[in-house]
């Protein structure tokens, strides 16, 4: 018998490559809900499956009342899927349910009863509850127990389990907590519960019956390592950065936004970008495509403005002259946004002192091996350095220089400084940001929730060409725009490259000098290897280590070149 539940409930089911049984699992979930006489809906998310999952979900939605679904390209993780499902759901009570039904939906009633008895805001199924029944591999029990003790030591959560695939939330919990969640994959459940507890919501545990169906045992060392890294990242953000304590300025306003995308000719990445833009949770925007030549592109929100063969800054200035938005959003054609990209950025513009907002441009999980390797090089502390926040989400902060691969500017500020009005590329963003902060005295805010995914140039030579341009322009900008370019962190790769190539010469004049040089280079190479070893994949680790060393050299040499240039060629 179901507890008395006046509110509508939503069942959120993320699915990845469940094509062989997802249809029957949805039907079984529906049967249980009908038997409990609950007002309900089932929201299923196809998390980038490459089998028949999507077609089977669509069949279920067509045949079964109350089933809704959505899908997207690329496997982005359980956290991403559940956030998308939540935005579609309408219930006041929301269940997370793993779509493989290793935990049967008949246990909805158990969690509802615990909530009714305790008044808890969150009820989670717990494999470690004394009344739970498990058909569960011993290897997974050992891993689960070890993880429980780690979580207990790090977070002190009053819970015995965080990972079981059935959970019940009041809507107000997810509304408050989801905006803070960064982990999309391996420690998503933990980060969600840590935040709920941190925000003062009450959490209760319920017994479960787990029917192991052959999936749980397959956890390799790579997955274990990623779980550990994500878990320690949550601890770092909670205890050291106090990231989850940051205020989230929410705004009900939805100002009109013009999204500008400069490119030479359309390709697959542009189609991916436009597809992601179409899925955004924001009602009020237009897209201005800025190709060299005219092209066909459907969509009521999309306009094509051929510009001829011009560089990106001049294309963006042309696009801005046609834009209708109060805010101009810049994104590259080889990047695509999160669904809440605009919604999260717009809330920052409620502060009149803020003229621009940027966010991380992370490497997509769907990129190939060499693109992923380049992304890991950029996102390593040895290369990203003080600008690591540009590649992975970090703490909210004020900045004075930000790339246009993910930057939004208030239209009034953009017009006040005359737009880009520069032939330099890359580097046009440095000039625009300098004018905003120094001429106008306005702020530029980095918000980790304003997320896009930026495809990388693959290691090694395409990556080198891009890094070389960055180095040359930054070296030249040291003389031309010292306000934001005359900084030690930009000089470090050049200093190290000079030492690496020539440092042994003066040291030979001193006793033991050559040994000192060898020790310095050896420690540097060791640091590069240890930094790269995070992947636990020998080939990837080798590629990233080589990428770190060669990136420093390529950037350093081109930085030195830029220092001695009298003028840069127009792009």
DSSP string for 152-166: HHHH--S-S-S--SE
Confidence category of residue 300, pLDDT binned at 50, 70, 90: confident
- C-alpha 127/C-alpha 150 separation (Å) is 16
* Short-list 484, 333, 346, CA closest to 411: 346
The token pair at 493 is: 């790769």
Helix (H, G, I), strand (E, B) or coil at 262: strand
Confidence category of residue 317, pLDDT binned at 50, 70, 90: very high
- C-alpha 394/C-alpha 526 separation (Å) is 26
Higher-confidence residue of 173 and 517: namely 173
Choose from 77-86, 158-167, 288-297, 533-542 the range with maximum mean pLDDT.
288-297
Whether residue 371 has a cis bond before it, omega within 30° of 0: no
Stretch (H or E) spanning 500: helix 488-502
- C-alpha 451/C-alpha 338 separation (Å) is 6
Per-residue confidence (pLDDT) for residue 158, from 0 to 100: 87
Confidence category of residue 217, pLDDT binned at 50, 70, 90: very low
Q: What is the mean pLDDT of residues 538-563?
A: 95
Choose from 4-8, 515-519, 567-571 the range with maximum mean pLDDT.
515-519
Domain boundaries, the chain: 9-245, 257-458, 482-564
Say which residues have a Cβ less than 8 Å from residue 362's Cβ, sequence separation at least 6.
375, 379, 391, 392, 393, 451, 452, 453, 454
Per-residue confidence (pLDDT) for residue 84, from 0 to 100: 85
The token pair at 40 is: 């309900």
Q: Which of 132-146, 149-163, 215-229, 363-377 has the lowest mean pLDDT?
A: 215-229
What rounded mean pLDDT belongs to the chain? 89
CATH of domain 257-458: 3.90.550.10
- Sequential DSSP letters for 305-346: ----S--HHHHHHHHHHH---SEEEEE-TTEEE-TTHHHHHH
Q: How far is CA 211 from CA 12, 130, 137, 207, 532, in A?
A: 20, 17, 11, 13, 39
- C-alpha 269/C-alpha 1 separation (Å) is 52
- Sequential DSSP letters for 438-486: IIS--EEEE-TTS-EEEPPPPTTHHHHHHHHHHHHHHHHHHHH-HHHH-
- C-alpha 411/C-alpha 429 separation (Å) is 15
Q: Are 367 and 455 in contact (CB under 8 A)?
A: yes
CATH of domain 9-245: 3.90.550.10
Q: Evaluate whether 9-245 and 257-458 have a shared fold.
A: yes
| pLDDT tens-digit series, residues 46-93 | 988 888 999 999 999 999 999 999 887 667 788 888 988 998 899 999
């Amino acid at each position: 018998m179901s507890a008395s539940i006046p509110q509508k409930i939503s069942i959120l089911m993320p699915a990845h490559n469940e094509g062989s049984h997802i249809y029957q699992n949805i039907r079984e979930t529906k049967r249980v809900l009908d038997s409990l006489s609950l007002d309900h809906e089932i929201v299923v998310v196809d998390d980038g499956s490459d089998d028949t999952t999507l077609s089977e979900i669509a069949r279920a939605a067509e045949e079964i009342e109350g089933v809704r679904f959505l899908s997207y390209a690329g496997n982005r993780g359980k956290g991403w899927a559940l956030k998308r499902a939540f935005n579609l759901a309408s219930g006041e009570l929301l269940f997370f349910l793993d779509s493989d039904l290793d935990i049967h939906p008949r246990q909805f009633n158990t969690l509802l009863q615990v909530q009714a008895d305790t008044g808890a805001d969150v009820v989670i199924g717990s494999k470690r509850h004394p009344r739970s029944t498990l058909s569960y591999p011993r290897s997974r029990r050992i891993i689960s127990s070890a993880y429980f003790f780690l979580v207990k030591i790090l977070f002190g959560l009053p819970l015995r389990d965080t990972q079981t695939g059935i959970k019940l939330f009041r809507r107000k919990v997810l509304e408050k907590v989801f905006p803070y969640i960064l982990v999309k994959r391996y420690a998503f459940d933990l980060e969600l519960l840590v935040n709920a507890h941190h925000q003062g919501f009450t959490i209760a545990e319920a017994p479960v019956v787990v029917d192991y169906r052959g999936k749980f045992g397959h956890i390799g060392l790579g997955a274990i390592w990623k779980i550990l890294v994500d878990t320690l990242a949550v601890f770092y953000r909670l205890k050291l950065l106090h990231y989850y304590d940051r205020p989230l300025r929410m705004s009900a306003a939805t100002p009109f936004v013009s999204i500008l995308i400069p490119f030479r000719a359309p390709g697959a990445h542009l189609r991916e970008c436009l597809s992601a833009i179409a899925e955004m949770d924001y009602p009020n925007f237009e897209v201005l495509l800025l190709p060299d030549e005219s092209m066909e592109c459907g969509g009521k929100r999309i306009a094509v403005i051929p510009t001829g063969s011009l560089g990106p800054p001049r294309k963006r200035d042309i696009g801005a002259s046609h834009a209708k938005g109060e805010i101009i959003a810049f994104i590259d054609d080889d990047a695509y946004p999160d669904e809440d990209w605009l919604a999260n950025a717009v809330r920052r513009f409620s502060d009149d002192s803020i003229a621009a907002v940027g966010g991380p441009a992370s490497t997509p999980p769907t990129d190939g091996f060499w693109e992923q390797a380049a992304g890991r090089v950029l996102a390593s502390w040895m290369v990203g350095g003080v600008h690591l926040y540009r590649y992975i989400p970090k703490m909210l902060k004020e900045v004075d220089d930000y790339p246009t691969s993910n930057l939004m500017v208030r239209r009034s500020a953009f017009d006040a400084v005359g737009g880009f009005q520069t032939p330099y590329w890359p580097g046009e963003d440095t000039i625009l940001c300098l004018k905003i902060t120094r001429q106008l005295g306005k702020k530029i805010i980095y918000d980790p929730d304003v997320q896009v995914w930026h495809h990388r140039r693959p290691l090694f030579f395409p990556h080198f060409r891009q890094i070389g341009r960055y180095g040359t322009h930054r070296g030249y900008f040291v003389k031309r725009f010292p306000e934001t370019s005359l900084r030690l962190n930009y000089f470090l790769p050049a200093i190290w490259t000079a030492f690496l190539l020539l440092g042994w010469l003066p040291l030979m004049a001193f006793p033991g000098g050559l040994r000192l040089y060898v020790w310095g280079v050896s420690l540097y190479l060791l640091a590069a290897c240890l930094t790269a070893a995070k992947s636990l994949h020998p080939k990837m680790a080798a590629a990233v280590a080589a990428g770190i060393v060669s990136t420093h050299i390529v950037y350093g040499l081109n930085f030195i070149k830029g220092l001695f240039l009298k003028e840069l060629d127009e792009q």
